[in-house]
Amino acid sequence: MAPKKKNPPAPKRASNIAAEIENAGVVVEQPITETLETNFMPYAMSVIISRAIPEIDGFKPAHRKLLYTMYKMGLLTGARTKSANIVGQTMRLNPHGDAAIYETMVRLARGNQALLHPYVDSKGNFGKAYSRDMAYAASRYTEAKLDPICNELFADIDKDTVDFQDNYDGSMKEPALLPVRFPSILLNSNIGIAVSMASAICPFNLEELCNTTISLMKNPDHDLLTTLAAPDFPGGGYILYDEEQLRKIYETGRGGIRVRARYNYDKSANCLEITEIPPTTTVEVIIDKIVELVKSGKLREIADIRDETDLSGLKIAIDLKRGVDPDKLMQKLFRTTPLEETMSCNFNVLIGGYPRVMGARELLEEWVAFREECVKRRVYFDLNKKKEKLHLLQGLAKILLDIDKAIRIIRQTEEESEVVMNLMIGFGIDETQAEYVAEIKLRHLNREYILKRTDETESLKEEIAQMEEILDDQKKVRGIIISELQEIKKKYAQPRRSMILYDTQPAREEPEEEAPDYPVHLFFTREGYFKKITPQSLRMSSEQKLKEGDEILSSMESTNRAHLLFFTDKQQVYKSHAYDFDDTKASVLGDYVPAKLGFDEGERIVCFAAVQEYTGYMLFFFRGGKAAKVEMGSYETKTNRKKLANAYSGKDPLAGAFYVPEDREFLLRATGGRTLIVHTGAINPKQSRDTQGVAVMTLKKNALVDTVVPFEEQMLNNSHRFRTKSLPAAGAIPKEQDLGEQMSLLD
């Protein structure tokens, strides 16, 4: 059919042209909302509906146009044809360029290995989904046809099972959806990015998918996990089983699936061979990351790495140094490289032209409803054909009563145009039946032929009755769908490619780096400088170099594997290890902690603690007279987190913070001079870090806790005057004879 000729645009009048020239460059004010509605919204809707988001048949418009073109070209059977020929024909339906169409074909091809069940049977170089650099050949070199599974995509498409619509120029018709006989929406991976929304659908095993759909049709409350164990990726790998995440995906359509690479160890060559990788990465990305870690010194166990991918499949070879444990190294690689990654799921599908995020259960229910409509339309189409045929045969049966009369009517009719009318009058049949009788060849006007044809009448009546029963009974419609799914399962099912690993940790554990352990002295100054000095170095030179006006606040003996905690005035704690700091000397300033650990601007350290294990307590004294006792275990994390928020309560200004391995006494002094000795054993410990604590010192009006220090007996001569049996307490004002030798520590 030739394309319609378009009328040439009417020539512009000279006055209009003059007006345009006069107004050229003039800025016209327009509300931003109007600009968005008229310019941006149509584009956004076009991307969402016509490009990036798949529909319930599992295809985006570009996929559907390509596959339908190949179907109309007769590529469901027969030999392959050049891909360039297919691309050219598809451009009649798809208004995009040939490069975009060919790239779509590449993704659907068997050679690319991007799909669990490819729709295009390819020949030639179609690249590889797992490789960034392995490019596909030009379309003039490759060949393709439809894969056999496409029989299930186009079955009964000519029986009015789906609606057809005009192509972009109105010269052809194309299907709005394909009447897929299986839930293809969940069979193959489908990822798209639209405007302000995206879609990411993971693939599932065909046999498990068919079994789940059948079970769901029989029992709406069916537990999907019993039949749909987990996704199945074309690249294989191991799926780390997480029941909570899978249930979330099945119910909401959102969640993440952790996929781990598969490897084996060649003992004779001391070499690791990675043969399957997660679907979210490529061979080149993995190698680049490993090389980066080796160069930075974080992977010292690797001697060499090579890409040995060939015609037999993917392979990354990693040569190990002598004595390296391969399994232990792989666990490290899983933590630090894309050899283990999470695929994020977002089941966003167009339903009736509107994007909806649905779980696997709801998606299957929507597909069943869609397929029910397809089956009903097919049965209704066949029913009408059967009724038409029965109607014709009933007219033919009347001829059986008197064949000679029919011949006589035809012979005696003078004009050909009156034959049908005379047959209608002579036998009492309608125009359609008379037209059918009039077209019978002379050789067929015998009793044997007519009897054979009219014998079909009874069987047709039975078939029509059965079809009408199907249309009136949803169970029978579902029975047809179930039988089709069972047939498809037998034809195309294949074993799982992705194995499932059960009893895995729900989160990645990052163990401590294996650093040497030896005694060290730790020093921390008021200005935020930190030094780690070995005993040998300290014996050689013990004179500490400090910044002008700085002083050492804390010094202690510890080890190189000690945990360091720096509490700041913004209620945060920064965690590190002693081995993260270089050994230094007393004659240098040391490391500036805020810069080393990446503090926020203006953040200041209020307390430093070094622990071997998370035992003991953190004590926080507030200006309002309260104190909070937090168990040290509250700051321990399974993952190696560097910063924790809400390290202590920020509702009251802090008067002092201390790490206390065991309960002891603290001396508090208020702004009015009152002094109180508090034993920490009287304060109940809490597990919540941001607890507001309990009142320990009763303050006069406008008074605040000014100073808090660990109590030593040399500070006060009559310490019993400042102790109390119950908290809170007001304390006492020291007399001159009460002041001890170390009372100057409070000033």
pLDDT for the residue numbered 5: 44
Supply the pLDDT for residue 84.
96
22 domain residue, yes or no: no
161 pLDDT above the threshold of 80: yes
Asked whether residue 509 carries a pLDDT value surpassing 70, the answer given is no
Sheet of 654-660, strands arranged across: 654-660, 617-622, 626-631, 694-695
* Statement to judge: residues 546 and 590 lie in one domain: yes
Cα separation, 440 vs 416, whole angstroms: 15
How much is the average pLDDT of 330-351? 93
What integer best gives the mean pLDDT of the chain? 88
Tell me the average pLDDT across 617-623. 93
Task: Among 14-23, 345-354, 412-421, name the most confident range.
Answer: 345-354
CATH number at residue 586: 2.120.10.90
Q: Tell me the pLDDT tens digit for each residue of 349-361.
A: 999 889 999 999 9
Q: Given pLDDT bands bounded at 50, 70 and 90, which one contains residue 3?
A: very low
Calculate mean pLDDT across residues 392-397: 85
Q: What share of the chain is helix, strand, coil (3-state, %, to 5)?
A: 35, 20, 40
Residue 328, in any domain of the structure: yes
Of 155, 180, 205, which marks where a domain is finished? 180
- Mean pLDDT along residues 385-396: 89
8 Å CB contact between 279 and 343: yes
Indicate if 74 and 130 belong to the same structural domain. Answer: yes
Q: How many domains does the chain have?
A: 4
Task: List the domain range (segments joined by +) for residue 583.
Answer: 519-746
* From 119, 130, 141, 648, the catalytic residue: 141
Reduce the DSSP state of residue 552 to 3 states and report it: strand
Q: What pLDDT score was predicted for residue 396?
A: 81
Please tell me the least confidently modeled range out of 302-311, 450-459, 594-603, 680-689.
450-459
Examine the domain organization and report whether 472 and 526 are in the same domain. Answer: no
Q: Is residue 1 part of a domain?
A: no
Please confirm, yes or no, whether 659 is among the known catalytic residues.
no
pLDDT per residue as tens digits for the range 511-536: 444 667 889 999 999 999 999 999 88
Q: Is residue 8 included in any domain, yes or no?
A: no
Confidence of residue 503 (pLDDT cuts 50, 70, 90): low
Does residue 348 lie within any of the structural domains? Answer: no
Examine the domain organization and report whether 654 and 582 are in the same domain: yes
Please write the tens of the pLDDT for every residue from 693-732. Answer: 999 999 888 899 999 999 888 888 888 888 888 888 888 8
CATH of the domain at 173: 3.90.199.10
Q: Which helix (H) or strand (E) holds 251?
A: helix 243-252
Residue 146 binned pLDDT confidence (cut-offs 50, 70, 90): very high
Which of 238-247, 512-521, 548-557 comes out lowest in average pLDDT?
A: 512-521
7 vs 506, higher pLDDT: 7
Per-residue model confidence (pLDDT) at position 25 = 65
Q: What is the CATH number of the domain that holds 316?
A: 3.30.1360.40
Question: For the whole model, what pTM was predicted?
Answer: 0.67
**Which residues make beta-bridge pairs with 575?**
565
Query: Which position has the higher pLDDT, 203 or 726?
Result: 203
525 and 468 within one domain = no
SS3 assignment, position 222? coil
Q: Summarize the confidence of residues 473-477 as an average pLDDT.
A: 93
Positive or negative torsion for Cα 93, 96, 98, 104:
negative
Nearest CA to 193 among 52, 360, 333?
52
Check pLDDT > 60 for residue 279. yes
Helices 474-492, 206-218: inter-axial angle, 10-degree rounding: 160
Report the pLDDT averaged over residues 650-667: 91
pLDDT band at 34 (very low <50, low <70, confident <90, very high): confident
The encoded tokens of residue 336 equal 């630090």
CATH at residue 446? 1.10.268.10
Same domain, 488 and 531: no
Task: Please tell me whether residues 173 and 98 are part of one structural domain.
Answer: yes
* Mean pLDDT across 161-181: 94
Q: Which of 434, 457, 492 is the last residue of a domain?
A: 492
Q: Do 410 and 460 share a domain, yes or no?
A: yes
Average pLDDT over every residue of 733-741: 75
Does some domain include residue 593? yes
In whole angstroms, how far apart are CA 278 and each of 136, 242, 247, 302, 389?
A: 21, 16, 21, 21, 57
Residue 88 contacts residue 102 (beta carbons within 8 Å):
no
Which pair of structure tokens corresponds to residue 321?
């140094």
Mean pLDDT over residues 354-376, rounded? 95
Range from 15-29, 491-505, 575-589, 590-604 carrying the lowest mean pLDDT: 15-29
**Kindly report the CA angle at 420 between 419 and 425, in degrees rounded to 5?**
100
pLDDT in tens, 59-107: 999 999 999 999 999 999 989 999 999 999 999 998 888 999 999 999 9
pLDDT score for 746? 52
- State whether 540 and 642 are in the same domain: yes
Are residues 464 and 532 both part of a single domain? no
Which residues are CB-contacts of 266 (< 8 A; sequence separation ≥ 6)? 272, 273
Question: Are residues 421 and 386 part of one domain?
Answer: yes
Of 124, 149, 180, the last residue of a domain is 180
Question: Higher confidence at residue 445 or residue 223?
Answer: 223
pLDDT of residue 68: 96
For residue 479, is pLDDT > 90? Answer: yes
Residue 11 confidence class, pLDDT cut points 50, 70, 90: low
Residue 196 covered by a domain: no
Per-residue pLDDT at 17: 57
Contacts of range 452-455, beta carbons closer than 8 Å, 24 or more positions apart: 453/393, 453/396, 454/393, 454/396, 454/397, 454/400
User: What confidence score (pLDDT) does residue 530 get?
Assistant: 93
What is the mean pLDDT of the segment spanning 301-329? 91
Residues 530 and 454 in one domain: no
Residue 233 within any structural domain of the chain: no
Q: What percent of the chain has pLDDT over 70?
A: 94
d(CA 513, CA 298): 10
Planar angle of CA 583, 587, 590, nearest 5 degrees? 50
What is residue 151's three-state secondary structure?
A: helix
User: Which strands make up the sheet holding 665-670, listed edge to edge?
Assistant: 675-679, 665-670, 705-710
